[in-house]
A and B are shown apart, each in its own frame.
Chain A
Amino acid sequence: MTAEHAVFYSFIVCALGALLTLFLGGNRRVAGWTAFVAAGVSSLLVLYGAGKTLVSGPEDAVSFLALPRYGLDLRLYVDGLSALFLGLIAVIAVLSAFYSIAYMESYPEYGVRRYYPWFLLFVGAMYGIVSITDTMVVFFLFWQIMTFASYALVRFEYKRPENVRAAWKYLIMMQIACVLVMLGAAMLAPAPGGAAGGEAINRFDFDVLSAHLPMLLRDHSAWAAVAFALFLAGFGIKLGMWPFGQIWLPDAHPAAPSPVSALLSGVMIKTGVYGVARCFLWLVPAAGQKDYPSQGWGVLIAVLGTITLFSGTMQALKQEQSKRLLAFHSIGQVGYILLGLGTCLALMSPANPAVMAIGVIGLCGALFHTLNHGLFKSLLFMNAGSMLHATGTQDLNKLGGLMRYMPLTALTALVASFSISGVPLFNGFASKWILYSAAIQGGSTARYLPACALVAILTSALTLASFIKFFGVSFLSRTSARVKERVAQGQPLEVGPLMQAPQLILAACCLFLGVVPGVAVHIIGLAIDHSRQGLGVFLANAPMLGNGPWGGLHDPQGKAVWIPLAIVLVFACLFAFVHGITRLGGATRKAVPPWLCGYALETDANRYGAHNFYGEIKRYFRWIGGSPAPQPTRPQAESAVSTNLPPTAAGRTG
């Protein structure tokens, strides 16, 4: 079985699963397990195909269904790049399906007939998008299945008007994106019956476009540039690039049920990344490299990426709804990926191997960050889902002290928060480290890159700020009235093992890739090595980052190095030592209430909520937009300590 066959069979499994869950939809549990089995089988097939491609290289493209009369040619081709994205989709899809089983029981008023079939179609269509070679009819079909399935999922809670509105907005944006991409492809396609189009059935096939491109780049460079701009805009809408992302993404992602938010944010927007990478790096053949203005596109994509990461994260900092905050961070993190792709394009110079090597490091960082973002953002959406499941609210102002009641969710949320903020020894740091080292070292060739790196590092601190708020006010801080009320109802708040398992697995992945990033970099190296279409030849031939799977990372010239295992050792010893110090004096531990100056009772009115954080920064960046609409009835006063409380001696003044 070739990788292409595996992917094709997984479509069939997804379609059959969709049919089956439609019939079994009356029973939530049964439908859930059926969907999980279907997603699991299709994932196994896809993982087999992806693994096979990564180990032994791509095979020839396979055409499964050709109807030349309608311009339809279902031709699949799985190379290293496709394999990487297929692997990511497969892992997140199966975990998300598993999480859905228990999670979907929290929607008693909505039937799952409108959930699982769409879920499976959505996953199947995403497998398709990253492995088809056609850019017109088949692309249209898969894109539309993906779009309509996810539209239905975003609209799942259709009784809430804001969700329906978000879904409509999402649908319209995706249709615009579809038109833009197809327009771009149409501009690059050779004229019907021409010499270049003669050999293949379909003149919109990726390989045909690629073969036709050198001529276009040489003779009609402006025409080709417009086509590439259309690709960038089309896929940019999908991946949430500034300014398009802000239009649909923060509304659509929180509206969907949490496992779907995880898929949308962790995986679906990555198909846009795939599209940009595929078009800008693998579409242009090696022969057309001289006429291809890669430096120019590099500037554009790197700068757009920098704007995207800063604006998305700064807007995220203002959010007070858990899932909306995470959605804005998706925009921010995608900015990092774009910055990496831009770095690679800017440093694309086959004539100068040293510069080229830094470019490949940038690409490696972008792909690694794609994987990492898939892992930690899915985890974060599952954490937010668990909180929603336990407390019935997304409002961070109403949460607090959940760590005591949901220790496992809290722990995984801490791992995910540290990962996305780039704390060393977590996977987000590893990929950001690669991106930064490429951008800083690329500064001698493309002089704007260190400035982009500076903004990215600054934004990383903003991300940390945002997640300190997200994690702190929901899991730490003190128990809020809402949580107390839920606890008083008697049921344990912590989610069941069915929802815990995927969170634990994802957290373990985040930690593993953080401590042993060499494994992921090795896989990405294989992926780049096995994607030799177009400019991929130069990328595949350049020296790669790394020191084998277990040896940490260092760049080919040895100017940057990151060996996490050494730091783990140092930290372990230091922790043991420091812990020993605390034991020296034989101090006794006592639990006491916090001290509120001895006169104020602790109430919800004098809690320091999500709304109160970072007031000055939010004020200075009001112009960047994204401020949440003021809520009509806010429980707490503007100032943190309410002075009109009755002065009661309730502290521990003694």
Chain B
Amino acid sequence: MKPDLINTLGGGLLNVLILLVTAPFFEGVLRKITAMIQSRQGPPLLQPYFDLLKLLGKDDLESGESPGMQRFAACLSLASILAVAWLVPMVGWPPLNGAGDVILLVYLLTLCCVSTLLAGLAAGSTYSLMGISREMMTMITLEPLFVVAILVGAVHTRSLRLDEVLSGSVYAAGHFPWSGWIMLVVLLISFQALVNRVPFDIAEAETEIMEGPLMEYSGPKLALFKYAQMSKLVVYSALFIGLFVPWGSGLPFPANLCVFWLKIFVVVLGVTLVAATHARYRIDQAIRYFAGLLGVAFIALVLAVYGY
């Protein structure tokens, strides 16, 4: 029991710390590379840290009629993504393995979106509401894709445990079934949407509805939402690697972590490249796109159930 408790607490705190420290760095990388692709100089790598610090001291404007809900939603956004960090193997094992499983993981990821929805509703601006309507529609069609990836892993390992599913389980212990490959492709081409980046940042869409749900937020609350957004990129990358790119995690201690974070860096790089070179889709185009992918994912699930 004792080593378990240390693993849980230590791992959880470590995950939260690493996430808080690295998330703005990866955002900085993303911005820098985007700028380079677009032939700009771009901000320094550490700019996102300064942005967050600056926002913490800015005026906190509350436009909603229920400011209590606005405060709650802002805190929930970062708190829920940090809670998810307790379920993701970022330093070698999922810290809360003994208290939750992959179903909890799926629903906690949903909770991260719920915070944005509540924030938009509480702010009450027409643009916010339009944004949350889009956010919710994206979520309805997107969430099942991620769920299928998890389910394929769960079906192959016959387990819902985090450590078993988030260790390349879609490949069923090395005999590389079709379902695993299909889900890899499906998640690769929907990954931008999972982390709310161009071309699927439809809910925020600065150029059309001015950040949608976040439009009315400023100061520390905006800092929390931004921080949560940056963390989401790292958490989803870690989940993606856990599910689909397990190679190298068996190496001895310092090497396995280096390999892991290198892989995260590569994923972020990929996200950046796609984001910098694509234009945003409309919501109906996006939904049709995800619905097609959902059909493919469903086939993958059926294949997985039959052991392929």
Contacts and interface: CB of A to CB of B under 8 A. Distances in A.
B239 interface: no
A570 B86 contact: yes
B298 A454 contact: yes
A344 interface: no
B151 A453 contact: yes
A614 B133 contact: yes
A634 interface: no
Contacts of A596: 125-126
Given A461-B140, A570-B12, A437 B160 contact: yes
Interface stretch (B22-30, B116-124, B192-200, B251-259): B116-124
Contacts, number: 250
A485 B112 CA distance: 36
B75 A582 contact: yes
B224 A578 contact: yes
A447 interface: yes
Given A579-B75, A594-B123, A595-B216, A450 B155 contact: yes
Select the residue from B16, B99, B159 with max chain A CB neighbours within 10 A.
B99
B154 A451 contact: no
B104 A567 contact: yes
Interface string A445-484: 0010011011001100110110010011101111100000
A591 B100 contact: no
B283 interface: yes
Interface string B38-59: 0000000000000001011111
A288 interface: no
Interface in A418-444: 422-424, 429, 433, 436-437, 440-441, 443-444
Contact of A563 (B100, B158, B287, B302): B100
Interface stretch (B63-71, B166-174, B263-271, B272-280): B63-71
Contact of B301 (A437, A451, A477, A581): A451
A489 B18 CA distance: 55
B78 A464 contact: no
A471 B140 CA distance: 18
A458 B133 contact: no
Interface in A106-138: none
B118 A476 contact: yes
A590 B107 contact: no
B7 interface: no
Contacts of B160: 437, 440-441, 559-560
B130 A561 contact: no
B243 interface: no
A588 B221 CA distance: 12
A472 B148 contact: no
B57 A457 contact: no
A574 interface: yes
A23 interface: no
Contact of A423 (B107, B130, B298): B107
Given A571-B79, A582-B221, A616-B284, A606 B126 contact: yes
B305 A447 contact: yes
A478 to B, nearest CB: 4
Nearest to A466: B136
Contact of A594 (B56, B63, B221): B63
Contacts of B136: 464-465, 468, 613-614
Given A478-B65, A582-B75, A594-B124, A562 B12 contact: no
Nearest to B142: A461
Interface in A10-67: none
A586 B219 CA distance: 10
Given A462-B140, A574-B79, A404 B66 contact: yes
A66 B122 CA distance: 62
Interface string A572-597: 00110111011111111111111110
Contact of A477 (B57, B129, B221): B129
A595 B217 CA distance: 11
A592 to B, nearest CB: 5
A266 interface: no
A438 to B, nearest CB: 11
B291 A620 contact: yes
B57 A587 contact: yes
A592 B104 contact: no
A424 B111 contact: yes
A607 interface: yes
B149 to A, nearest CB: 11
A591 B90 CA distance: 40
A257 interface: no
B184 interface: no
A566 interface: yes
A457 B155 contact: no
Contacts of A441: 158, 160
A591 B62 contact: yes
Select the residue from A477, A588, A641 with max chain B CB neighbours within 10 A.
A477
B91 interface: no
A612 interface: yes
B110 A464 contact: yes
A248 interface: no
Contacts of B55: 585
A350 interface: no
A583 B128 CA distance: 25
A640 B298 CA distance: 35
A543 interface: no
Contacts of A450: 151, 155, 301, 304-305
A462 B139 CA distance: 9
Contacts of A404: 65-66
Contacts of A415: none
A437 B165 CA distance: 14
B261 to A, nearest CB: 23
Contacts of B74: 582
B248 interface: no
B278 to A, nearest CB: 20
The 7 A-B pairs with the shortest beta carbon distances in the complex, nearest first, are A585-B56, A585-B57, A608-B129, A566-B99, A472-B121, A582-B220, A476-B121
Given A441-B158, A574-B16, A620-B291, 14 more contacts: A403-B69, A440-B155, A451-B301, A454-B148, A454-B301, A468-B118, A561-B100, A583-B220, A587-B220, A589-B61, A589-B67, A594-B64, A615-B133, A617-B140
Interface of B: 12, 16, 53, 55-67, 69, 74-76, 78-79, 82-83, 86, 96, 98-101, 103-104, 106-108, 110-111, 114, 117-118, 121-126, 128-130, 132-133, 136-137, 139-140, 143-144, 147-148, 151, 154-155, 158-161, 215-216, 219-221, 223-224, 283-284, 287, 291, 298, 301-302, 304-306
9 contacts: A423-B107, A423-B110, A450-B151, A468-B117, A472-B118, A561-B100, A562-B104, A587-B57, A595-B216
